[in-house]
């Protein structure tokens, strides 16, 4: 097992997920272990970098990144971020997904984010009538966009005005690290990580969702039979709030354990504004389930860690897990029925095969 | 086929669902076709009946039912109500559920509800600090409760203060019918029907959910292995917002159709505050799917009717349907993996077997 908490998928752009060994049992993911999802080279911005707030506002205003914390009240939100492609590997057994990062269960993490509320900034500049969305642009240029462009996204105005959406300048008590968007990133709790734009340079109040490539074309769930090369703006389901999800972190996939009592550990995340109400574990293919113990407190913005003691017989076993939310919705059974051409939102049951040796 | 739009499951208490033939293709369900879920005999109240607002309020106040519309601004909300037991029949093939009504897909309907906003009433009486929930009590006595009691429920204060929660006095432009709670019922859009308390007599502002039997003990999703007789207050998942769901209304289950082009029609409902983003139909057991046309407009408070043209070969076919919401969550595949002792929240894929005769 590597000591490096990150499993690097790509160096350029730098993309790395947290190893399960570094996620397991930790409510908060340390900065050096937090997954990194980039779409281009990381821009190095100083605290003098400007953030322009424009569009449907009363007063177009530029702030220096470093002055935000002085101008507005400071708030902290503990929030899970989760990549829309988290657990994509579960799709790859069904059908290949060329050109997309093969994220396992570690494209997610939870941090204490500190910064200023987006709504306080919007109040300072005055939102004009007709505004319905708020767009964000980062300084990172991506040639994954067609044509190449800065990374961008948008969220509905109602979400932008919520208590929990921050322009964050600190992560777990430290200045925001370069790879997490220094000096200022957006944090949109409950939504896919792609909406939490890093290296923020612009906030645009709009009367429609952003037409940035990563909002209008990418990060959309297409029907299985679609060729993604044919997908244009507005096709598919625009990903926003995260779908109910969970995974098993320990034992790790494909490892060997001793027969007898085994403690299964993992995370569950309800997404959107929902909470996790139950997690089930099965060692008989879903014929019967035991209820995991949920650790910590229910909170819509953070994952729920869980633990479940099972007794394993020698042989080969696949451990299953599934979460339920506060509507009593449970995760779908099979990745096969959720497979989609860009490999987003695999929230099928967690399935971790293990070899069980005689005790 | 009966001309009566309602299929009566029980006369005392009166419980009836809408036949699929009366649901299909109608955005609004007529009053005489709207499903009725009762827990006891229907009380006949006059417009003089009192509604007491008490608990954590500044001024305990009683309103006559008939004066609400004069005292507060009138609002209309088009909203779907759905029984937590809707589609319970899908569970009965898995294992019997004694003592619960065998609801098919018609324990749901959509109406234009007119009344006053609960939040305006709460503002008039003043909500005191520490309030977190709002409880409702009806005049209907139920011996399904242990001990027998009036029907009741509660919702969190944040939902109670929303635009959409009404104390309704009209349904589809008519005075609220007796069986739908005359003279005043609560309407909680997006939540299970059981929270929309009928024959309202009391609104209690509280610092905790209601301890009424139907909130604290019943309408809770228990793990499959639980004996419901052993379930006590607080056990299981308290049902609130409805889980993503859909069903096929035409063709009807078990009917005969001619081979060739067949239009499949149904409803989908995202529940909670979500919207339906896609509905898929399959005639090959889920190997491939075609996307249904979504009718009407996306609205979190109402179902989305849909239609899909398929071509059927002679033989026996099971038509499948599933809906997706705006988190790109889809319905789970099988009722078997969702079965629970009280038979709530069956939101597995719709499965309608038909016999296809040569054209």
CATH number at residue A123: 3.90.420.10
- Same domain for B129 and B77? yes
Residue A1 forms part of a structural domain: no
Partner residues linked to A167 by β-bridges: A116, A186
Interfacial A residues in 231-290 facing B (CB < 8 Å): 237-244, 271-274, 277-278, 280, 286, 288-289
Angle subtended at Cα B180 by Cα B154 and Cα B66, rounded to the nearest 5 degrees: 85
The stretch B93-108 carries a mean pLDDT of: 96
Residues B252 and B350: their CA atoms lie apart, in Å, by 11
CATH number at residue A309: 2.60.40.650
- Same domain for A299 and A185? no
The stretch B280-308 carries a mean pLDDT of: 97
Tokens of B144: 């399904």
To the nearest whole Å, the CA of A328 is away from the closest chain B CA by 6
Place B224 in a pLDDT band, splitting at 50, 70 and 90: very high
Residues of chain A scoring pLDDT < 70: 1-2
> Using a CB-CB distance cutoff of 8 angstroms, which residues of chain B are in contact with residue A338?
330
Residue A133 forms part of a structural domain: yes
Helices and strands (DSSP H and E) totals, chain B: 6, 24
pLDDT the model gives residue B3: 78
- Same domain for B27 and B155? yes
Residues A120 and A115: their CA atoms lie apart, in Å, by 11
Residue B296 forms part of a structural domain: yes
Residue A218 forms part of a structural domain: yes
Residue B280 forms part of a structural domain: yes
- Same domain for B287 and B201? no
Selecting from A224, A237, A327 the residue whose C-beta is nearest the C-beta of B242 gives A327
- Same domain for B192 and B302? no
- Same domain for A228 and A249? no
As for how many domains chain A has, the answer is 2
> Using a CB-CB distance cutoff of 8 angstroms, which residues of chain B are in contact with residue A243?
325, 327-329
Of B218, B238, B258, which residue sits at a domain end? B238
Q: Does B49 contact chain A (CB < 8 Å)?
A: no
Residue B244: closest C-alpha in chain A: A329
Q: Is the ipTM of this complex over 0.85?
A: yes
The count of C-alpha atoms lying within 13 angstroms of the C-alpha of B162, restricted to the half-sphere facing its C-beta, is 19
pLDDT the model gives residue A108: 98
CB–CB of B327 and A224 under 8 A? Answer: no
To the nearest whole Å, the CA of A294 is away from the closest chain B CA by 13
Task: Give the tens place of pLDDT for each residue, B162-198.
Answer: 999 999 999 999 999 999 999 999 999 999 999 999 9
Selecting from B224, B237, B326 the residue whose C-beta is nearest the C-beta of A324 gives B237
pLDDT the model gives residue A3: 79
- Same domain for B76 and B222? yes
Selecting from B221, B328, B331 the residue whose C-beta is nearest the C-beta of A345 gives B328
At B297 the three-state DSSP class reads: coil
- Same domain for B338 and B272? yes
Residue A256: give the domain boundaries: 245-357
Of B238, B271, B293, which residue sits at a domain end? B238
- Same domain for A233 and A266? no
- Same domain for A259 and A214? no
pLDDT the model gives residue B274: 97
CB–CB of B334 and A333 under 8 A? Answer: yes
The stretch B40-47 carries a mean pLDDT of: 98
At B177 the three-state DSSP class reads: coil
Residue B125 contacts residue B61 (beta carbons within 8 Å): yes
Phi, psi of A74 (to 5 degrees): -90, 140
Q: How far apart are the first and last CA of chain A?
A: 23
Place B2 in a pLDDT band, splitting at 50, 70 and 90: low
- Same domain for B308 and B205? no
Of B202, B219, B238, which residue sits at a domain end? B238
Residue A320 forms part of a structural domain: yes
């Amino acid at each position: 097992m590597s000591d490096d908490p990150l499993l690097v998928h790509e160096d350029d752009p730098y993309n790395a997920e947290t190893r399960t060994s570094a996620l397991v049992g930790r409510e908060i993911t340390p900065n050096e272990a937090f997954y990194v999802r980039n779409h281009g080279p990381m821009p190095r911005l100083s605290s003098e970098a400007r953030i322009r707030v424009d569009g449907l506002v009363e007063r177009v205003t530029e702030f220096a990144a470093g002055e935000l914390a002085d101008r507005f009240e400071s708030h902290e939100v503990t929030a899970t971020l989760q990549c829309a492609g988290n657990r994509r590997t579960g799709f790859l057994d069904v059908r290949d997904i060329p050109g997309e990062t093969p994220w396992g269960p570690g494209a997610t993490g939870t941090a204490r984010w500190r910064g200023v509320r987006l709504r306080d900034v919007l109040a300072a500049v005055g939102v004009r009538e007709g505004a319905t969305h708020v767009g964000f642009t980062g300084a990172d240029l991506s040639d994954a966009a067609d044509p190449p462009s800065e990374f961008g996204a948008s969220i509905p105005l109602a979400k932008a005005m919520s208590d929990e959406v921050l322009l964050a300048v600190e992560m777990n008590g430290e200045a925001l690290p370069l790879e997490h968007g220094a000096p200022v990133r957006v944090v949109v709790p409950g939504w896919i990580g792609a909406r939490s734009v890093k290296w923020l340079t612009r906030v645009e109040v709009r009367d429609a969702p952003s037409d940035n490539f990563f909002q209008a074309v990418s990060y959309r769930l297409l029907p299985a039979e679609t060729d993604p090369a044919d997908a244009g703006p507005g096709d598919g389901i625009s990903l926003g709030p995260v779908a109910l999800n969970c995974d098993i972190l320990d034992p790790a996939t494909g490892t060997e354990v001793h027969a007898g009592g085994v403690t299964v550990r993992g995370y569950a995340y309800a997404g959107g504004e929902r909470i996790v109400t139950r997690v089930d574990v099965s060692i008989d293919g879903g014929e019967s389930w035991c209820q995991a113990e949920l650790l910590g407190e229910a909170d819509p913005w953070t994952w729920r860690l869980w633990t479940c003691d099972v007794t394993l017989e020698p042989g080969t076993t696949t451990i299953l897990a599934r979460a339920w939310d506060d509507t009593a919705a449970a995760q779908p059974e099979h990745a096969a029925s959720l497979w989609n051409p860009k490999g987003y939102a695999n929230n099928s049951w967690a399935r971790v095969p293990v070899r069980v040796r005689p005790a």
